[in-house]
Amino acid sequence: MKSTFSYNYILDLTFDEEQIFKNLSSSTKRNIKKAIRNKVSIDISNSYSALEEFYIMNCITRKRHGLPPQPPRFFRNIYDFVLHENNGFVSIARYNEKSIAGAIYLSVKKKLFINMVLHSLNINFPILKLLRLIIADNSCFLA
């Protein structure tokens, strides 16, 4: 039997960053402040090199789960048909200059979908929440 998990997050981008932050739960605010305090940075790009970095993390994550990685051509197609056409981007979170998490975002009909997310098990930050919130700073991908 195969199980599937799916989450939907709706972030109203008509609000400014301050208002969005104000409406977050107290634990999410605390986690974001912790990441900022610890100088976690998030790089956003639609470059092939960003996708290659994501691919390396993907291979490590899938190996940890006992799964083979998708073939490199799968990610090459994501670049050629999505990222290169400005219909998405890759975000990479870094801590002490080390990549600790990544996500691929796809833009379809003015909606942004998080397609793949992975993170290091050795880092105790709410990276997944941070990666979701970068949408507010990247609404240009929805135009």
Between CA 17 and CA 14 the distance in angstroms is 10
pLDDT tens-digit profile, the chain (143 residues): 455 555 566 666 677 778 878 887 788 788 788 888 888 888 999 999 999 999 998 888 888 889 998 999 999 999 999 999 999 999 888 888 888 888 898 888 777 777 666 666 565 555 555 555 554 444 444 44
| Residue 116, pLDDT score | 67
Classify burial at 78, counting beta carbons within 10 Å of its beta carbon; exposed 0-12, middle 13-18, buried 19 or more. Answer: buried
Specify the DSSP element, H or E, that contains 95. strand 88-95
3-state SS class at 122: coil
Please tell me whether the overall predicted TM-score, pTM, comes out greater than 0.85 for this model: no
- Please provide residue 86's backbone torsions phi and psi, each rounded to the nearest 5 degrees: 60, 35
**Rg of the chain over CA atoms, in angstroms?**
15
Kindly report the length of the chain.
143
